[in-house]
Structure 1
């Protein structure tokens, strides 16, 4: 298990898969490293690759608006991805690419110690919840596993392509906010 400093160094020098050859920057995460909630997406897009931070492009701006509308403060979450390098053309990471990067995400989970994990999209849901499930069947349902409360919802980029998903994602995040408030009240009470 790596410390934060070691993890960043290991990821920066990682050449386990072909994504390392085309990246501009590794994208580890952003947010509070002691947050009660971790949001996990698929992988960096163009803006994320350029800035070295997850969810800073159009989908990230939409996610930030959603979190703000839900009154989920920035110190309440940490954001990461399944893969730390941008897949060319923003394609879905291959199984091999994801498998090479998953130990880094598991390391982040150990370091952050969130109580809630929100899978943003089918790729995160696949590698965190169930490899054979469909996002449309699993989204919005809580799963308790290894001390984590896990829920899947749509990736914000899906909302940019299909606005009909906005209502469903809003409903999912109302559940997230309710669980987050409950966890925080129990810790403070």
Structure 2
């Protein structure tokens, strides 16, 4: 503390003689408040529960639209709307023309370089362009790659028997795959390959406009319905894709390796027939 000067000491002494007992203290101005930015504790965990949106950090964020929670199956998926979409009452000739145009596009497709370089030919689809029922499989195998027709190998022969047991012929339905090229060594299609070919699948669905779709195996079911669920969890019930009711069941190639699975597949087929108001010939 600094020692007062002699003049200051004399001034204080004069004030004391005048009866001054203390000096008034000057008022200190309150400090200006400085806004502090809101921070998030590094140990705090965000609330990821879909039904409880996270609390906004600022009022402005409250006005921002939040993304909806992902749907839970069973779910109604939007109908495909590709460029070659045809009216629901289009004639057989119109549908045949549209399918031929789409098949020509597929024949020249090189979106998947590996598949395009190893295929013998593309395998588009066969059957009734106005079928009530569409069958979707995984991908062409060696026999399909050689002939250009889906489901003609051992698994295809078993599928034909299932079709006939339902009282149909192959010409009554429409048959195609997730992929239109054979993957090397018959491996499972990759996500990129399925995505590259999805426009063609959606085109076929839009042109044929089936009332019912049967997904044979996990690959077909998971790609069409955008799910990761196993086929065992998806079967025995219907899903909705556009206007089509979708039934999922085991792939015929799985039945060749596991004959016991033929019974649940037949139960699925009877479920389909009942939904269509039909009965199998053997019933």
Residue 27 in structure 1 maps to residue 123 in structure 2: yes
- State how far apart, in whole Å, the 2-side matches of 1:180 and 1:29 are: 23
Alpha-carbon shift at residue 178 of structure 1 (Å): 1.9
**Distance change >3 Å, CA 51–CA 75, structure 1 → 2:** closer
- Per-residue CA deviation, residues 110-161 of structure 1 (Å, 9 max, x unaligned), is 1101000000000001111242111111112111232110010000000001
Match of 2:59 in 1: none
Match of 2:102 in 1: 7
Alpha-carbon shift at residue 20 of structure 1 (Å): 1.0
Residue 55 in structure 1 maps to residue 151 in structure 2: yes
**Distance change >3 Å, CA 76–CA 177, structure 1 → 2:** farther
- State how far apart, in whole Å, the 1-side matches of 2:177 and 2:242 are: 20
- State how far apart, in whole Å, the 1-side matches of 2:276 and 2:108 are: 35
Aligned-partner SS, 2:117 = helix
- State how far apart, in whole Å, the 1-side matches of 2:177 and 2:151 are: 9
Aligned-partner SS, 2:276 = helix
Q: Which runs of 5+ in 2 are unaligned?
A: 1-82, 85-97, 279-283
**Distance change >3 Å, CA 38–CA 134, structure 1 → 2:** same
- State how far apart, in whole Å, the 2-side matches of 1:155 and 1:92 are: 13
Pick the aligned partner of 2:227 from 91, 114, 131.
131
Match of 1:37 in 2: 133
Instruction: Normalising by structure 1, report the TM-score.
Output: 0.92
Pick the aligned partner of 1:118 from 188, 210, 214.
214
Pick the aligned partner of 2:189 from 93, 99, 111.
93
Q: Which runs of 5+ in 1 are unaligned?
A: 183-189
Between 136-145 and 86-95, the greater mean CA deviation after superposition: 136-145
- How large is the Cα RMSD of the aligned pairs? 1.2
Instruction: Normalising by structure 2, report the TM-score.
Output: 0.62
Verify the 8 A CA contact 1:31 1:77 in the aligned structure 2: yes
| Number of aligned positions between the proteins | 182
- When you count helix as a share of all residues, which structure comes out higher? 1
